[in-house]
Structure formats: structure tokens, C-alpha cells
Amino acid sequence: MSPWLIFVLATFACFRLSVMFSKESGPGRIFKRLRAQTPPKSALREGVSCTLCESIWWSAAICASLCFFGYTPWGTFLLYWLAVSGGAVVLNQRFTKDL
């Protein structure tokens, strides 16, 4: 698989997961209930409700999976991690109404 295709797919996956967990209710309102379980006015509440914050963590998980399964070398993990998160942020700012 082409490195560009891997990057694009990882970026779209990161964007989708970030928006889904930070803004949507989800099936059975599971994501909304998870966000409500965090302490009010805390850094954790802010982190799970912020698409840009979520993109950092989802990008780390996605890129670690890519390295683990051999799609990308471990030496490029940090580069992919930041690039995929950055791509998700660009998609968020371009295609969603809120930050």
C-alpha cells in the first residue's frame, strides 16, 4: 500500500474518531454518557469534548497500530503521529462548524 494512501486513510480515520467521540451522542448515547462521566470544569472534561485534543490521542493510537502491523516503520512514528493529527485538525476546521 502506498505511504500516501496510508496517510490519507489514517487522517480520515483520526478525524472521524475525534468528531465522533467529542461531539456526537453515538449509538445508545454512549459517547455522550462517557463525556458526562468526567468531572465538570476539569481538564479531562475539556479534553474529551475538544475535537482538536481528541485528534492527538486518536492519531497516536492509529499510528501505533500502523507501526505494530508493519504498515509504517517505528522510526517514523512521531512524524506520522503529528502529521495525521494535523491533517485531522485541517479537516475539522474545513468541514465542521465548530472547533
* Average pLDDT, consecutive stretches of 10 residues, N- to C-terminus, the chain (99 residues): 95 97 93 91 90 95 98 96 97 83
Say which DSSP state 73 is in.
Answer: -
Which three three-digit cell numbers place residue 93?
A: 476546521
Q: What share of the chain is helix, strand, coil (3-state, %, to 5)?
A: 80, 0, 20
* 20 Cβ contact list (under 8 Å, min separation 6): 26, 31
Asked if 89 and 52 count as a contact pair (C-beta separation under 8 A), the reply is: yes
Q: What is the pTM of this model?
A: 0.90
